[in-house]
């Protein structure tokens, strides 16, 4: 009986020590894991040609990522996207536009053309990345991850058209996907954004 009690106490002590060690290191491990697993943990170019890691740039922010085009029926969505940026930007929302020319060749211009168009016609001040493919073998790694059933089974599937929207929480995880025709200022999009913004890190 005495031997049994000693064995229990030793075992219990080991468990307590192990638990303490884990607790001590858990914050660092959690942050590292969150960054590693986020689809945003990729390097891309901004519209003006600067390299940027999206996970680092938007750390702690709610991100609405939208593949955009200048000559599409959905192009007027730039206006409500800019409105969202102006309304919620100070609360932690980042709107990120990703030009793409794969749908009806509706984004044929250069980076300079795109920048001028967005500024002149819609007063866009939110972040814009350089033009990329979002489907197929040449798709940007970000979109390969976002559309893959293996990496994101809940929101997978090819991008269907311009202005498809992905919403990321403050940890860089996808929490919602909205169809191209869904307006950025629709109640479902705004509600989803407000819900994520309310979750302070």
29 and 104, same domain (yes or no): no
97 and 23, same domain (yes or no): no
- At 72, list the tokens: 């599409």
Query: Do 163 and 97 touch, CB atoms closer than 8 A?
Result: no
pLDDT at 112: 97
Q: Give the mean pLDDT of 86-114.
A: 98
Q: Write the CATH number for 102.
A: 3.40.30.10
**Residue span of the structural domain in which 154 resides:** 43-197
pLDDT digits (tens, 9 = 90+) for 56-96: 999 999 999 999 999 999 999 999 999 999 999 999 999 99
pLDDT at 5: 45
Q: Which residues contact 91 (CB under 8 A, 6 or more apart)?
A: 197
26 and 48, same domain (yes or no): no
57 and 12, same domain (yes or no): no
* Portion of the chain with pLDDT greater than 90, in percent: 77
Active site annotation includes 100: no
- At 178, list the tokens: 């909205």
47 and 32, same domain (yes or no): no
19 and 50, same domain (yes or no): no
Query: Do 61 and 196 touch, CB atoms closer than 8 A?
Result: no
What is the domain count for the chain? Answer: 2
111 and 176, same domain (yes or no): yes
pLDDT digits (tens, 9 = 90+) for 112-166: 999 999 999 999 999 999 999 999 999 999 999 999 998 888 899 999 999 999 9
pLDDT digits (tens, 9 = 90+) for 160-197: 999 999 999 999 999 999 999 999 999 999 999 999 99
113 and 32, same domain (yes or no): no
pLDDT digits (tens, 9 = 90+) for 7-16: 444 444 443 3
Among residues 8, 72, 100, 118, the one annotated as catalytic is 72
């Amino acid at each position: 009986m005495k031997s049994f009690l000693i064995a229990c106490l030793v075992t219990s002590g080991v468990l307590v020590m192990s638990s303490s060690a884990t607790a001590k290191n858990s914050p660092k491990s959690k942050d590292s894991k969150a960054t590693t697993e986020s689809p945003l943990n990729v390097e891309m170019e901004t519209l003006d040609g600067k390299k940027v890691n999206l996970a680092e740039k938007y750390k702690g922010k709610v991100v609405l990522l939208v593949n955009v085009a200048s000559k599409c029926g959905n192009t007027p969505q730039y206006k409500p996207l800019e409105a969202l940026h102006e309304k919620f930007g100070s609360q932690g929302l980042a709107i990120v536009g990703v030009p793409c020319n794969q749908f009806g060749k509706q984004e044929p211009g250069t980076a300079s053309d795109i920048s001028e168009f967005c500024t002149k016609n819609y007063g866009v001040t939110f972040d814009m990345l350089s033009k990329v493919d979002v489907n197929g073998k040449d798709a940007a790694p970000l979109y390969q991850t976002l559309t893959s059933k293996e990496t994101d089974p809940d929101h997978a599937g090819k991008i269907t058209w311009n202005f498809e929207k992905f919403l990321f929480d403050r940890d860089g995880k996808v929490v919602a996907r909205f169809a191209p025709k869904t307006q950025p200022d629709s109640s479902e999009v705004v509600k989803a954004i407000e819900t994520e913004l309310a979750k302070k890190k």
